[in-house]
Amino acid sequence: MFVYLGITANKEIIRLLNQYASESNLVKDLIKPLWDSHPHQDVRVCLTLTILNFISKSNSNDDRILIWKILEEAADDEYLPVIQSLFSADRGQSRWPLTQLKNSSDPLFITFVNRIQFKVLDHPKSLQARSLAWSTIDYEYADTNKLIEKAQQLCIQFDKDANTLWETAFQKIISLYKINKM
């Protein structure tokens, strides 16, 4: 799962997760404090991928709140591999933690797309993150009207960001229309 990261980051995260895997408070007691300590960027990638595994398994409302908070912070991260971990395209469908949710058309995946992947479309600091989001968003599960509205805004906006993003956004609109006509 953590193929592209440094060996030290992989070993540490895996060691910690194995050590506490049977703990019912893993998210609250281990993952959230580690995330809040603003660890090395590769550790943030590991934590993001790890927390994706808990998105559908949490029974505690407190854990669900923490999971979504971490994911929302990850969506604003400045390190592109953290952003990439929120999309299946760079991981391959079979290795991405949310593939099973996506394939089952679970409403939780729809919530993830509309809450987290959408957030990356408006990344506050990284044009590269926004471009990645436009090209890899799971648009089939997105709120069509909101996605079209965002794309239309880019198509009529005249600045460097829009100049970079409008073509991909326009292609998403065309894809959505094709899906809706079928």
Summarize pLDDT for 11-41 with one digit per residue, the tens. Answer: 677 677 756 655 667 888 888 988 998 888 8
pLDDT at 67 over 50: yes
Q: How far apart are CA 20 and CA 69, in angstroms?
A: 21
With a pLDDT cut of 70, the percent of the chain lying above it is: 79
| pLDDT tens digits, one per residue of 92-120 | 666 788 988 888 878 999 999 999 999 99
Give this prediction's pTM: 0.80
The residue type at 87: F
Percent of all residues in the chain with a pLDDT value above 90, rounded to a whole number = 31
In sequence order, what are the residues at sequence separation of 6 or more whose Cβ sits closer than 8 angstroms to the Cβ of residue 110?
141
Ordered by start, the domain boundaries in the chain are 7-142
Band the pLDDT of 4: cuts 50, 70, 90: low
CB of 98 closer than 8 Å to CB of 109: yes
Q: Is residue 182 scored above 60 in pLDDT?
A: no
Model pLDDT for residues 156-180, shown as the tens digit of each residue: 766 667 667 777 777 777 776 666 6
